[in-house]
Structure 1
Amino acid sequence: MKDADSPRSTCAPARVFARTVPLALACLLCTAAPALADPAPFELTGPDLRITVTRGQQSLPIAQVPSLAEGDRISVHAALPEDQGLKFLLVSAFLRGATNPPPKNWIAIADTWKSKEKDKALALTVPKGARQMVVLMVPDTNGAEGALVDAVRGKPGEFVRASQDLNQASLDHSRLTSFMGAIQAQDNTGPEYLRAVAPVLARSLSIKLNEDCLSKVIEMQASCLLENKESLVLNDVHSSSLADTLTGTPTDLALQLSATPEAGAGYYSAYIGVARDIARIFGAFNNPQFGYLPTLSVRRDETMSLLLNAAPSFQKPKSVMVTALPAIEADIPPQLRSTAKAPICVARPGALLPVEGAPLVFSTAFAHDMKVKLTNASGQTIDVPVTPRADKGGYVITGEALPSAFTGSMRAQLHGLWGFAPFEGPEFLLQRPDGNAWKVTGDADGLVVGRDNEVVLEGAAPSCVEDVTMQQRNGGPKALEWKVRDGNRLAFTVPLAKAAPGEVRVELRYQGAKGPETLSLRARAEASRIDGFELHAGDTEGELTGQRLDQVQSLTLGEIAFKPDGLTREGTVDRLRLVAQGAAKAPDAGTADKAVIALADGRNLSLPIRIAGPRPQAELIGRTVYPGPSAPGARTLELGSGDLLPDNGELVFSIKAAQGDHFGAASTIEIATSGGPVAARLSSGKGLTLESQQVMVARLKASDLPAGTFGPLRFRLVGDGTAGDWKPLATLARLPRIENLACPDNKNDAPAPCTLSGRDLFLIGAVAADRAFAQPVTVPPGFTGGSLAVPRPADGKLYLRLRDAPEEPVALS
């Protein structure tokens, strides 16, 4: 028989330990324990601990606790069977760094075999200054208490590192276990199952995916994906930070993923390697009486099950099972990100809110009591429970159907608890049909045969549309591709290149709807027609008007060739912008000639043209903005450069006539937004004043512009019925009403956020502590609240990026 002190002793200790573990495990224990040079996976089932943590008046099971805090009350029980044949000591130790041994009263011992609760369980309070906690289980031996206390206090750094590495390894193990369980659960009934779900699982849990496996036959995919499982776990920054200690020691072992000769030529992973490293750590003070055996923890509710990588010895040297509880640090929720690129439909049960960036929300219960808060258009809110699904890549909305008031577009905020701390996830835009019919924007009878026509519809939930088809006359249905625009619009193209005039039926089907909704549109024939070509002396572009101008390929005037550069449609009239090629310019005013227009079908049309006089030109030479008075109780915003015109202000600007030109009493200035219609006209005595025949001063009050006008403004000079080029003028910005900025005193040297309060805060796009907007706080679209959590000003000023003028931040002192 082998000596009991040998690291490869086999069945003798295994038979004793079989009393405390399932019968199947006893067979595993009869195999030889692996040598230190080749650490085994943590596949042996050890004892269970029942642990609850109480903070204030709230108690949580250990599975929901990512980290401990000073003052937490911890209850630890050893969940041993009634016929337990061996007495175990349960030892806990708080640690405070590698170079600062803990006091003796930070180490507690319980006799698990005794009858009284206070003797067989640990009732602990996390002391001030503690940073880690380890729990040890060892067979009762004379002098064991003193030996363990001396070991912990004599070399605290070894236990600090063990706590760090075991925590990290357990978190990594939870992700791998979740991945393997999901892969093994599939039943091969769907041939494409793994091809679809494996990449999603890998992204959710941050697991390395061997994509070559998905090209194998169905029966071999699952086993292929789980090959070399020790190297599947990828680094997760958040789980690393949870296991990091305040000593500054990096978790380099737990983050090591590459196969190196020193690590065992490939038989090494973030959690298997813990066995080798901790064996080296504890090897310095192993003795003939005790040897230290690291364990990983698997948490389910109050139960923390221990996983062993070697069979424990109950003969000398007896095994001391070492496990780690969560680090003692602040609860820091992970940075969960939304991966939704469009509104999400919630017409059916089980809608998915896609997220990424935090694998532990799928493999642990740290994030619990998760819900999504829905806010409808009228401001009503409701909390709906959600469930994490790694195989779907996000949270699935569960529970009953939403109330009837929650239709159309709704804002959604994911929230819950991360341990004891509130946890807020990303925001989403959800949509649900409201039963109202779709509306066509523009002319419902504006379809033209012979070309493709874009149709834009407005409705409550475009994201819920799953099928769009068209049918004309007796032809069969034809599927159309569509896309969502601006959240509440649905755009699709109706192909009528070879169609005849007549009715076009379009059917749209919502997700989960019994039948489609039908729209009736009319397609009309439109003859090719050229109305005219407007070209001014010295210009490099002109405008062709008519119908079916999409067929125009070029226009030639003398030796000048013009090419199409943008087609627009106004009612029944096409307007085609034509640009001269090269550096050619239109000839002098009054020149008459015939232009040749080439069409796509090979025909050429002739059009007589007379060059119009040069368009009036002017340049901006001065500009001053006079902000209006602030509302009572509102704070003044610093507008920065003179390019920003507040919605209560006045803009005074001056223009100079082009060389050889002059202004007259009939000269006017038109103001418009970028791409919009004319919003205001200034004329002599009504906003315009002639300083001289070459200089004119204009006054524009923001209040004189139509309601709803905002953004970049442009101007053009109009003289003798001819308009000049549009030129940039200023940016009209609607200002929020800022009433207060409250910044509480800093605590614990951590900068506390400030609170910005006021009205119309939805006009703010983002807030930052510096002009460069290095770490901005964004304001969600449609925000209706009266206050915002904002960063603390760095230089005495807070910078706001307005939605109407994102390039010109304003400052709040």
Structure 2
Amino acid sequence: MSVPAFAKALIVAAAALLATSAAVAQTGQFDLVGPSLRVSVRHGDVTLPLSQVPNLTAGDRIRVAVDLPPEQGAHYLMVLAFLRGATNPPPKNWLTQAETWKPKKAIIDTVVPKGAEQALVFLVPDTGGAIGAVTSAVRDRPGAFVRASQELNQAMLDRARLAAFLDGIQRHDSTRIAEVSPQLAQSLAVKLDTNCLLRQADVQAACLTQSSNAVVLADSQTSSIAETLAGAPVDLALQLSATPQGGYGYYSPYIGVVRDLARIFGAFQSAQLQFIPALSEQDGGATGLLLNAVPSFRRPQSVLVVALPPVSAPKLPPLQSAANAPLCLGRSGLVLPVNGAPLVFATDYPRRMALRLRKKDGASIDLPVAVDAAKGGYVLASAAPADVDTAMPGVLHGLWGFTPFDGPGFAIGDKAACTVKAAPPRPQASLVTKSVERIAPPGPMPLRLEGENLIAQDARLTFSLRTKERFAPGDTVEIAAADERLTTSVPLRLQDAQVAVATVAPGTALGPSAYGPLRFRLKRGDATGEWQPLMTLVRLPTLSGFTCDAARCTVSGSNLFLIRDVGTGGAERTAVPDGFTGTTIDLPAAAVPPTSLSLALRDDPDARAVATLSH
């Protein structure tokens, strides 16, 4: 994805690394596009852009330039600083500077010194004393910048995985979202909001890319210290520190990192300088910078802090084979399924990947492969030749940055094992119409659901289906709740060969724990059709009374914890706390007696129930 300098807001970062200052309010979200760097690394005789370099090594030659607009008004000094651990200040000659506004002095070209462990780039306003203050900060408190380097690098890798997931969703037609999104989530170790898959196909992508339930999971490769809550990538809707879950400590490990970084950078705020972390976004040869605060060119002036990859031994991806059967190499578009290393799907670190095979004459052959997160592995560019020795496994191998590595091996199927057997066609049916009937006796204060797509747990649903072929004897319709462990199969009554009717009481068939979006599919023997949305199942409280006096109004009943908030007709609504166990809810006194109660239900964000009041 292209990143124009100072142009537009991009996807919100998965991490909210906050640099606080008494003078400057910051959002905590990396939603401001800063300048971009062009960084290349030469290792031996090979030069790569930073996007393909997972780690630096002593002796590597680094070349760093910054892309600033031609009309850039403020002059920036660029400083490359190497660190050697939290307790060992770096020597002064480990800090190299460039004057970015002077063509002949705008580039840093230096070698990673022996003993270095971290590398940071600073963009410093060209004012008297600023560069000296930065140098002093780095040498006086190296541990703070070591920690900042580690956390910024981790946030960059986590965000790359989330961005790859969102990009994969947006690349596919809406009719395939339900099919590809679970595999994308598995490949990239992202927790999927499965409720989105129960919606209509044309809104599934928007739900997945804006859901506050997207979570980047910890994995063995990136060693994420906690789950990272991902903000809404388009409307910048979510801030981790503002979520109720965060306030109650559910995401407290990650919030701890946010607070640590605030303290790290806050320690160096002064009347002269303010340090701002910049999150890297790799795009080919460019390293875009995302900021979480508007840079200031007045005192305290902002210093942008960018983390480069760690100076360390390469950490090779722990790729594992996910194949459950021998590979049939004669098939075009064959997928080599892998798991265990989401960064192979989210970054450009893996290079020249190929499947190495042994031929019957003993010679080796490499078949190029391309990664595809939506397919869960590497895809062969072409079929294998006929003289492959199927007794020898094929080995996935390539380069991880500059380092060669061998991945997992795959068993190769022989001619008999690879004989294609035609699968039976999947039965398909579409929803024609549906009707809902309440079967439980009404309570003291009956509730009416608002919305044609809602069904109460004490109701019966009758719906009809149409197929383009013919219904077969024994066909059933399978119904599932949001919790996929809760399913039921319902027999069909045929109107004719193409139209059938089914009746079910979801609350009874699926059990008292079922709620949320329901979906259905046609089932014929062992063959099943595609899941399709049906209705949304909601649980209702029982209201027993409503009274008002001069001080307050009170609604009473049971199972009131199923209510999210209550309104009496005006704009003001009364929230019901999580885990509420009481039998009464106090509401503000009303100047005019209300004629109805509006209940927002917990089982669906848009579900409302109305109770008509009699006076």
Please, what TM-score do these two structures have when normalized by structure 1? Answer: 0.46
Q: Deviation at 1:404?
A: 4.1
Q: 2:377 aligns with which of 384, 387, 394?
A: 394
Q: CA deviation at 1:84?
A: 2.3
Distance 1:34 1:425 in 2: 40
* Aligned 1:678-757 pairs, distance under 5 A: none
Are 2:218 and 1:235 aligned?
Answer: yes
Choose which of 384, 397, 402 in structure 2 pairs with 1:415.
Answer: 397
Q: Secondary structure at the match of 1:124?
A: strand
1:125 aligns with 2:107: no
Counting aligned pairs with the same residue, the percent is 47
User: Does structure 1 retain, via aligned residues, the 8 Å contact 2:215–2:227?
Assistant: no
The one-character-per-residue Cα deviations of 1:609-649 (angstroms, maximum 9, x if unpaired) are xxxxxxxxxxxxxxxxxxxxxxxxxxxxxxxxxxxxxxxxx
Q: After superposition, what is the alpha-carbon deviation per residue over 1:452-481, rounded to whole angstroms, capped at 9, x for unaligned?
A: xxxxxxx62423413289xxxxxxxxxxxx
Q: Is 1:463 aligned with 2:418?
A: yes
Q: 1:96 aligns with which of 67, 84, 92?
A: 84
Counterparts of 2:373 and 2:35, CA distance in 1: 29
Matches of 2:98 and 2:143 in 1, distance apart?
24
Alignment of 1:580-591 (within 5 A): none
Aligned pair partner of 1:147 in 123, 133, 136? 133
Equivalence for 1:306: 289
* Inter-CA distance 68–153: structure 2 relative to 1 (3 Å threshold): same
The residue aligned with 1:64 is: 52
Give the Cα separation in 1 of the matches to 2:342 and 2:100.
Answer: 36
Counterpart amino acid of 1:206?
A
Matches within 5 A, 1:558-569: none
Question: Which residue does 1:161 correspond to in 2?
Answer: 147
The equivalent of 2:388 in structure 1 is 406
How many correspondences in the alignment? 402
Secondary structure at 1:66 match in 2: coil
- The residue type equivalent to 2:287 in the other structure is M
Q: 1:263 and 1:71 mapped to 2: Cα distance? A: 43
Counterpart residue type for residue 184 of structure 1: Q
One-letter identity of the residue aligned with 2:69: P
Instruction: Find the counterpart in structure 2 of residue 784 from structure 1.
Output: none
Can you list the C-alpha shifts for 1:751-789, whole angstroms capped at 9, x where unaligned?
A: xxxxxxxxxxxxxxxxxxxxxxxxxxxxxxxxxxxxxxx
Q: Is the 8 A contact 1:374 1:383 kept in 2?
A: yes
Q: Residue 55 of structure 2: SS of its match in structure 1?
A: coil
CA distance in structure 2 between the partners assigned to 1:212 and 1:70 by the alignment: 49
TM-superposition CA deviations, 1:184-231 (whole Å, max 9, x none)? 23332x2xx222211101110000112222122223322332344585
Q: Match for residue 341 of structure 1?
A: 324
> How many Å separate the matches in 1 of 2:254 and 2:159?
7
2:314 match? 331
Residue 403 to residue 330, structure 1, CA distance change in 2 (3 Å): same
Separation in 1, partners of 2:393, 2:141: 54
> Aligned to 2:195, what secondary structure does the other structure show?
helix
1:670-713 deviations in Å (ceiling 9; x for gaps): xxxxxxxxxxxxxxxxxxxxxxxxxxxxxxxxxxxxxxxxxxxx
Output the amino acid matched with 2:168.
Answer: A
**Given the superposition, is the C-alpha separation of residues 365 and 24 from structure 1 closer, same or farther in structure 2, using an over 3 Å criterion?**
closer
What aligned pairs does 1:572-651 form with structure 2 within 5 A after superposition?
none
**Residue type at the aligned position of 2:346:** S
Shift of 1:412: 1.0
What is the one-letter code of the residue matched to 2:342? P
Matched, 1:21 2:5: yes
Instruction: Say whether residues 1:134 and 2:116 are aligned partners.
Output: no
User: Among residues 301, 309, 312, which one is paired with 1:318 in the alignment?
Assistant: 301
Q: Choose which of 41, 45, 49 in structure 2 pairs with 1:53.
A: 41
Structure 1 residue 57, shift from structure 2 partner: 1.5
The 3 A distance-change label for structure 1 pair 317 and 121 is: same
Letter in 2 for 1:385: P
The equivalent residue for 1:171 is 157
| Partner of residue 75, structure 1 | 63
Alpha-carbon separation, structure 2, partners of 1:82 and 1:267 = 46
- In 1, Cα distance between equivalents of 2:259 and 2:407: 38
Find the structure with the greater CA-based Rg.
Answer: 1
Map 1:639-678 onto structure 2 (within 5 A): none
SS of residue in 1 equivalent to 2:410: strand
Identify if the C-alpha distance between structure 1 residues 310 and 210 changes in structure 2 by more than 3 Å, giving closer, same or farther: same
Tell me, what secondary structure is at the counterpart of 1:194?
A: helix
In the alignment, the residues of structure 2 paired with residue 290 and residue 221 of structure 1 have an alpha-carbon distance, to the nearest angstrom, of 45
Aligned partners of 1:147, 1:377: CA distance in 2, in Å? 67
> In 2, distance between residues paired with 1:328 and 1:23?
32
Q: CA, structure 1 residues 466+380, in 2 after alignment: closer, same or farther (shift >3 Å)?
A: farther
The change in CA–CA distance for 1:252 and 1:166 in structure 2 (over 3 A counts) is same
Structure 1 residue 199 corresponds to structure 2 residue 182: yes
Tell me if the contact between 2:20 and 2:266 (Cα under 8 Å) persists in the aligned partners: no
- Unaligned runs of at least 5 residues, structure 1: 1-19, 241-250, 432-458, 470-813
Q: Secondary structure at the match of 1:52?
A: strand
Counterpart Cα distance in 1 of 2:412 and 2:199: 38
Question: SS of 2:221's equivalent?
Answer: helix
Q: Letter of the aligned partner of 2:272 in structure 1?
A: Q
Q: Would the alpha carbon gap of residues 198 and 204 (structure 1) be closer, same or farther in structure 2, given more than 3 Å must change?
A: same
1:513-564 deviation per Cα after TM superposition (whole angstroms, max 9, x unaligned): xxxxxxxxxxxxxxxxxxxxxxxxxxxxxxxxxxxxxxxxxxxxxxxxxxxx
Give the aligned partner of residue 168 of structure 2. Answer: 182
Q: Is the 8 A contact 1:165 1:253 kept in 2?
A: no
Q: Which amino acid counterpart does residue 467 of structure 1 have in structure 2?
A: A
Q: 2:36 & 2:254 partners in 1: Cα distance? A: 20
Say whether the 8 Å CA contact 1:347–1:464 is kept in structure 2.
Answer: no
**Partner residue, 1:218:** 201
Flag the 1:25–1:194 CA change in 2: closer, same or farther, 3 A.
Answer: closer
Gap change, CA 1:128 and 1:35, over 3 Å in 2: closer
TM-score by length of 2: 0.61
Note if contact 2:62-2:110 (Cα within 8 Å) is conserved in structure 1. yes
Q: Distance in 2 between matches of 1:53 and 1:144?
A: 28
Shift of 1:292: 0.7
Work out whether 1:428 is the aligned partner of 2:410.
yes
Cα displacement (A) at 1:86: 1.9
**Alpha-carbon distance in structure 2 between the residues aligned to 1:270 and 1:167:** 17
Instruction: Indicate conservation of the 8 Å contact 2:26/2:292, yes or no.
Output: no
Shift of 1:264: 4.7
How far apart, CA to CA, are the structure 2 residues paired with 1:236 and 1:144? 40
One-letter amino acid of the counterpart of residue 21, structure 1: A
2:273 to 290, 295, 299: 290
| Change over 3 Å in CA distance of 1:304–1:196 after alignment to 2 | same
**Matched position secondary structure for 1:237:** coil
For residues 436-585 of structure 1, what are the structure 2 equivalents within 5 Å?
460-467=415-422
Partner of 1:361: 344
Q: Is the 8 A contact 2:19 2:265 kept in 1?
A: no
Assess if the C-alpha contact under 8 Å between 2:193 and 2:213 holds in 1. Answer: no
CA shift, 1:270, in A, is 8.9
1:619 paired residue number: none
Q: 1:111 to 1:264 in 2, by over 3 A?
A: farther
CA contact (8 A) 1:233 1:270 kept: no
Instruction: Describe the SS at the equivalent of 1:413.
Output: strand
Summarize the Cα distance change of 1:253–1:374 in structure 2 as closer, same or farther, 3 Å threshold.
closer
1:345 is paired with a residue whose SS is coil
Residue identity opposite 1:418 in structure 2: W
**Alignment gaps of 5+ in structure 2:** 13-17, 231-239, 425-615
CA drift at 1:98:
1.2
User: What is the CA–CA distance in structure 2 between the aligned matches of 1:404 and 1:100, rounded to whole Å?
Assistant: 60
SS at match of 1:343: coil
